[in-house]
């Protein structure tokens, strides 16, 4: 007589230690490999693009399905406008679609990134989007201030143009509305065409 080893049922939940390790890895890398999720959940700063490129390349190398969309999960107060444009350019350069998903908030630069998803643009029902004009505190020579303001006007024109292309409203609408902080519910963001779907 011998002891027969019975196979473990396949529908058993993962041990708690494995779940903690998986969660720790997601928090440490801000990448969920199983669902192709990349997180932006902080200020958008000088290092955000580099960090995003590294995480997306790592994700694409480590997943079996090379063609399915990447899910960019956004919960950010916004930040640097130059970094925002660079992130949008990078997203548009990828061979795979990038779904943008707001859970919590997408303010300022983060709101423009949300609108520029190349796949589905989504927002949870109690999240908030906020758009506004550029802001700055600067001093110095008048010629330098004038050059800076000219640059800001050009950047803002680019933002209004992007929003007119990504939504149902024209540049003048966005220029007028964004003179003060413009807060949008999920329903309003969908009505304006800033997102495609409420989740």
The whole-angstrom separation of Cα 134 and Cα 152 is 7
Q: Taking the CB of residue 42, how many other CB atoms lie within 10 A of it? A: 14
Rounded Cα distance between 121 and 100, Å, is: 5
Helical H runs in 63-181?
81-93, 109-115, 142-166, 171-177
- Count Cα atoms within 13 angstroms, Cβ side, for 72: 28
Q: How far is CA 39 from the centre of its chain?
A: 7
Q: How many CA atoms lie within 13 A of 139 on its CB side?
A: 0
Residues forming the active site: 108, 132
The first and second tokens of residue 172, run together, are 């003048």
């Amino acid at each position: 007589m011998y002891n027969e080893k019975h196979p473990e049922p396949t529908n058993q939940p993962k041990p708690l230690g494995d779940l903690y390790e998986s969660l720790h890895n997601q928090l440490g890398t801000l990448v969920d490999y199983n669902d192709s999720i990349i997180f932006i959940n902080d200020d958008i700063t000088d290092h955000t693009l580099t960090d995003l490129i590294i995480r997306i390349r790592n994700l694409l190398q480590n997943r079996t399905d090379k063609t399915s969309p990447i899910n960019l999960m956004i919960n950010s107060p916004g930040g640097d406008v130059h970094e925002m444009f660079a992130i949008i350019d990078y997203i548009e350069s990828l061979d795979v679609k990038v779904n943008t998903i707001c859970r919590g908030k997408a303010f300022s630069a983060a709101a423009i990134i949300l609108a520029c998803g190349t796949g589905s643009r989504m927002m949870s029902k109690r999240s908030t989007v906020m758009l506004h004009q550029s802001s700055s505190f600067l001093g110095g020579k008048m010629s330098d201030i004038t050059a800076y303001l000219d640059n800001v006007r050009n950047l803002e024109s680019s933002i209004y143009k992007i929003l007119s292309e990504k939504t149902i409203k024209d540049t003048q609408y966005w220029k007028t509305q964004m003179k003060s902080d413009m807060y949008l519910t999920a329903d309003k963001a969908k009505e304006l065409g800033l997102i495609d779907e409420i989740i």
